[in-house]
Amino acid sequence: MSHRSRLSGFIIDCETGDMRSAATFWGQALGLRVGEHEVEGGAEYVGLQDTPMGLHAALQKVSHPSRIHLDIEADDQDAEAVRLEALGARRIGWVKRWWVMEAPTGHRFCIVKMNNPDQGPPPTVWG
């Protein structure tokens, strides 16, 4: 059975107590408007708006060292995890609603649920 996936966007993981200042910096650095500060079940996010190609971009408060990670959206997250494992990635764990993965290069990324497959660039069909 086939599934679809594509780059969804990027998350700027921030180990900071001042999310507003972090969002101001990244918004100005990237030429994007800073969105609302949101708290969801203990997690804190600040969205960045007006991104190119409708990519999702946000800052996320984290307790690990700051880094940037990509999100790949898929209509079948488990099938996408299997596909990426075949390429050398490994699953780190299931968190809330997504797989945290690690590339062979050591970079972390997430596989999130595809919400709007008919919006933005067409997803790649696998399988």
User: For 57-72, how does the pLDDT look when each residue is reduced to its tens digit (9 = 90+)?
Assistant: 999 999 999 999 999 9
Q: Are 8 and 55 in contact (CB under 8 A)?
A: yes
User: For 79-99, how does the pLDDT look when each residue is reduced to its tens digit (9 = 90+)?
Assistant: 999 999 999 999 999 998 999
Angle (CA) 7-87-64 rounded to 5° is: 60
Range from 24-28, 30-34, 89-93, 116-120 carrying the lowest mean pLDDT? 116-120
